[in-house]
Amino acid sequence: MHSKYTGFKLRRLAVSGISFTFKLFMLVLFLFPFYWMIVTSFKTYGESIVFPPTLLPHTFTLEAFEQVFTRLNLWNYLKNSVTVTVAVIVIQTLIGVPAAYAFSRYSFKGRGIMLALVMAAFMVPTQITFITVYIMMSKLRWLNTLLPQIVPFGASAYGIFLLRQAFMQVPTDIIEAARLDNAGEIKIMTRIMLPAAKSSLMTVTLFSFVGSWNSYFWPLVMSNAEKVRPLTLAIERLKDQDAGINWPVIMAGNMIMVLPVLLIFLLMSNKIISSMGYRGIK
Amino acid sequence: MPYVMVAPAMTFLLVFTFYPLANLVYLSFFRYNLISDKVFIGLTNYRNLLFVKKDFIQALKNTALYSFAVVFFTILLAILFALWLEKDSKINRFLQKSMFTPYLIAMVSTAYIWSWMFDVDSGLLNAALAFVKLSPLRWLNDSSLAIWCIVIVSVWKSLGYYLLIVLASLKSIPSEIIEAAELDNTPWLRKFFRIILPMISPQIFFLLITITISSFKVFDSVRVMTNGGPGNATDVLVTYIHRYAFQMNMRVGYASAAGSLLLGILMILTVFYFRFAGRRVHYQ
Amino acid sequence: MAKIEFLDVHKSFGSAKVIENLNLTLEDGKFNVLVGPSGCGKTTLLRMIAGIGPATKGQILLDGEDVSNIPPGKRGVAMVFQSYAIYPMMTVRQNIEFGLKNNRVPKAERERRISEVSQVVGLAPYLGRKPSQLSGGQRQRVALARAMVKEPKVFLMDEPLSNLDAKLRGAMRSELVQLHKQLKTTFVYVTHDQVEAMAMGDCIILMDQGKIMQQSDPETMYRDPNNIFAAQFIGTPPTNIVEIGSENFKLGFRPETIILSANAGPDRAFTRRVKIMTREMLGAETFYKLCLEDGQEAMARLTNSSLAEGDTLYLQVDEDNLYFFDAKGNRVRKTGSQHYDAMVERVKRSHES
């Protein structure tokens, strides 16, 4: 008896073969811009403007990178980016963790309103607050310091919200037991709550890091001297000098900016992605 | 005790988030250039923005077009890719990771890389077109095409992130329900629209709101790739506000009015979403 | 109505081999119960019939036709899941109707079937409700109705009663048996509860670690177990298994076949002196835990409740009630074994030593 489904398995195999090929194609599509950035940064200016462009540099050169290092005071920009990012993460943690802890474990008058404010703050974009904050910073004469890039971000509404969720998951019995053991609030926070919320903490820290390191709009508005500008604003300096854009140099500059983040991701990609599993919100 | 723990955070939020919000609306009723005193002019700024000058409306149109295009393509592609890459396999995991990578790098870097690829004379995309014997396009220099270039960049950058969110929500569907549907001989499309989609609708709704709001705030990519041009074909709300606040004689009052309108638009959109889409979301 | 056959079936999850070389025939029209401890493979087999967990190797035949390449929806089987798996976004009516619509059943026929089935399961007043508005028992009926309305060749059920409270479970048990008598379709029912299996099944298939330990009707399963596992899985308390000195066979006997008396009465096959360790009076019967002289234990199940803890008595079992098991745990029966009588002799004499 001949079943009409005999060709079924064969068809399935063919479909998965085509699917696999398409996936490889997608990989190329998505990763190609990175490849292109890398390749361009190792070309000479002359080769970069050749049409049609070469897929691999015929002359492999580091002159683009040399130009980046000589024309820019990279150290200055790098220092600023690192300082701002680290400072923001530290302050957000110091301020956010106690707040999240308080929101999760205490009930106090005004808690509801405050929580609602935190949620609302989450939705207010910096593209709206910047005018007033600029005026504030200008009056304080802070515009030639790193402070405007750090201080306004002291409280992360997103961080407080996420950490509060994580803290609420910790079973009450453990905390009660700790209290019976005479542990102070700080100890409870650091020894019990934080370890339990490791995954959320990682998500929040990553979010802060990426947000700070990649920030462009805010430092653009809030800095009026080169000495306080971060890496994201440095690339523009490479553009102004030339009449036509020297793409290898621009790409080299971008590579330097992109590298730290890519390295972190390569090392911790599995952890990062699994911590995002929590983001299936509501 | 809890007040002590919450106080710093609330102070920061009040000073740097809510006060500026209120101040923004306040300033919108004045003429102000940061040097001389404020002059109260009532609704003049708003009148100019909406009825007298044409450029705000243009920026609004551009932003709206950009946002809805990004929302549409991002969600559509995120769902399609999530369904395609759902099974746990090496190639799927690798593709997910690769698609997520652009999300982590700065928008400015993304903008520079793609500007280079969009370059008219030596860019990769025109080379690809030439390779298949098509004529080159003017990409970022083309007033009707430029905005779509920026859309493409945005989708490329964020798709991986939203893909992971949709994947997580797909995985939360109990497998037995899908198996029951298979035993019910459900054709694929019906399975998607009547079972899968309703079960991930809360997360999709969340994405709808999130992506819309973040799209209305676009600045970095526009500034780097076209700076609003050609003409004002890609001028968006935030580049508009920024320009009027810092470049055109510091018209802070006017810029504040534009900012207030942006805020208003975001709030209206949220309400709109809850009203119309919110009803169709299936909560469990 | 369909006969189900498993031919040389293998199943692995990754590198773990769960089922190897399994052959099984389930007669059509019967209420077949797959029973065994967790992980024995019973649900795996059920899912193979449904097509949602295909075999790694081997064939599954439905009414003689190899269904390995037929998608689940086209096999003519219906399944009730342990978690019910009813569609949460649809009403009861839509849940029941869904499969029919997919199979292009015309509207009039659909209506007829739905009203008939909803009457039978008692869901007629709830057709417009959503699952979140139903109780656990009602949800289970929706799952059942959804299966019934498709008029399948085979009914598959994966522990459908385990999430219900005890009272409801008992009621549903008899309803399902009645349903089977009415429909006369082939039922394949999975459970880990041996009482349920004995009460409901026409044919019980006992499994352990991917192997079939015994396949027979409840009566035979109880009186004539094939191996130690079967003897001990079915029946409460389980069959007593004792060793006889240094012999290479084991002896088994059911708790209710034990005779306890103050004197060693007429010459019965198995006799031992025992001491009563515990006594559980359960009403009509009393369970006694006994300790034999050599330290082995046995459970007795008697209607006599007057014995006390600490009493020393004689335990005796008639030859007809003895089960002999070889070193591998397989049953040695009188017919077909030359050693049977010798073994009985050795057991009789073992008391004297």
pLDDT for residue A278: 45
Chain C residues whose CB is inside 8 A of the B174 CB are 83, 85
In a domain, B3, yes or no: no
Q: What is the CATH classification number for the domain harbouring A273?
A: 1.10.3720.10
- Chains touching chain B, criterion 3+ CB pairs below 8 Å: A, C
pLDDT for residue A242: 56
Name the strand (E) or helix (H) holding C177. Answer: helix C166-183
CA of B273, closest CA in chain A: separation in Å? Answer: 15
pLDDT for residue C267: 78
Report pLDDT digits (tens) over A171-219. Answer: 888 878 877 887 777 777 777 777 878 888 888 898 899 899 999 999 9
Q: Is the peptide bond before A52 cis (omega within 30 degrees of 0)?
A: yes
pLDDT for residue A5: 58
**Token digits of residue A136:** 């504030």
- Single-letter code of the amino acid located at A171: P
Q: What is the dihedral of CA B38, B41, B45, B51, to 10 degrees?
A: -160
CA distance C203 to C207: 13
Q: Which of A133, A232, A247 sits opposite B106 (nearest CB)?
A: A232
B174/C83 Cβ within 8 A = yes
Name the residue of chain A whose CA is nearest to B89's CA: A20
B186/C102 Cβ within 8 A = yes
CA distance C146 to C148: 6
| Residue pointed to by tokens 């080769």 | A47
3-class DSSP state for residue C64?
coil
Examine the pLDDT at C86 and tell me if it is beyond 90.
yes
Examine the pLDDT at C301 and tell me if it is beyond 80.
yes
Confidence label for C101 from pLDDT (cuts 50, 70 and 90)? very high
Which DSSP string corresponds to A158-183?
HHHHHHHHHHHTS-HHHHHHHHHTT-
Contact A144, A225 (CB under 8 A): yes
* CB < 8 Å from B in window 21-80 of C: 50-52, 71-74, 77-79
Examine the pLDDT at A280 and tell me if it is beyond 60.
no
- What's the domain count of chain A? 1
Q: What angle do CA A210, A211, A212 make, to 5 degrees?
A: 95
Q: Where are the domains of chain C?
A: 4-228, 237-350
pLDDT for residue C352: 67
User: Closest Cα partner for A34 from B129, B153, B222, B114?
Assistant: B114
Chain B residues whose CB is inside 8 A of the C81 CB are 176, 179-180
In a domain, B12, yes or no: no
Q: What is the CATH classification number for the domain harbouring B267?
A: 1.10.3720.10
In a domain, B187, yes or no: yes
Chain B residues whose CB is inside 8 A of the A133 CB are 16, 20
**Token digits of residue A143:** 């515009």
- What's the domain count of chain B? 1
Examine the pLDDT at A282 and tell me if it is beyond 50.
no
C237-350 matches C4-228 in CATH topology: no
In a domain, A156, yes or no: yes
User: Closest Cα partner for B212 from B50, B65, B79?
Assistant: B65
Helices (H) and strands (E) counted in chain C, each on its own, are 9, 19
Sheet bearing C211-216, strands edge to edge:
C77-80, C154-158, C186-191, C31-35, C203-208, C211-216
B124-131 vs B107-118: helix axis angle to the nearest 10?
40
C72/B182 Cβ within 8 A = yes
pLDDT for residue A279: 44
Average pLDDT, chain C: 91
Task: Return the DSSP state at A82.
Answer: H
> Spelled out in words, what is the top-level CATH class assigned to the domain C4-228?
alpha beta
- What backbone phi and psi angles, to 5 degrees, belong to C315? -100, 135
Length of chain A: 282
Which of the two residues, A278 and A169, has the higher pLDDT score?
A: A169
| Residue pointed to by tokens 């923001």 | A88
Residue range(s) defining the domain that contains residue A204: 84-279
| Residue pointed to by tokens 């005193």 | B37
Mean pLDDT of C163-177: 89
pLDDT for residue A241: 59
Contact C49, C190 (CB under 8 A): no
CA of A213, closest CA in chain B: separation in Å? Answer: 8
CA of B51, closest CA in chain A: separation in Å? Answer: 22
In a domain, B252, yes or no: yes
Contact B4, A108 (CB under 8 A): no
- What backbone phi and psi angles, to 5 degrees, belong to A15? -60, -40
Confidence label for A265 from pLDDT (cuts 50, 70 and 90)? confident
Count of CB pairs separated by less than 8 Å, B with C: 66
Q: What angle do CA A234, A238, A244 make, to 5 degrees?
A: 150
**Number of C-beta neighbours around residue C100 at 10 A:** 22
CA of A258, closest CA in chain B: separation in Å? Answer: 6
In a domain, A93, yes or no: yes
| Residue pointed to by tokens 């992605």 | A273
> Spelled out in words, what is the top-level CATH class assigned to the domain C237-350?
mainly beta
pLDDT for residue A134: 92
Examine the pLDDT at A281 and tell me if it is beyond 50.
no
pLDDT for residue A2: 46
In a domain, B114, yes or no: yes
Residue range(s) defining the domain that contains residue B148: 31-280
| Residue pointed to by tokens 């029966």 | C333
Mean pLDDT of C115-122: 91
Report pLDDT digits (tens) over B148-157. Answer: 999 999 999 9
- Single-letter code of the amino acid located at A80: N
In a domain, A98, yes or no: yes
Examine the pLDDT at A158 and tell me if it is beyond 60.
yes
The residues that bridge with C309 in the sheet, in sequence order, are none
Examine the pLDDT at B81 and tell me if it is beyond 90.
yes
CA of B283, closest CA in chain C: separation in Å? Answer: 9
Report pLDDT digits (tens) over A23-67. Answer: 999 999 899 999 999 999 888 888 888 877 888 888 888 888 888
A1/C69 Cβ within 8 A = no
Contact C228, C250 (CB under 8 A): yes
- What backbone phi and psi angles, to 5 degrees, belong to C104? 55, 40
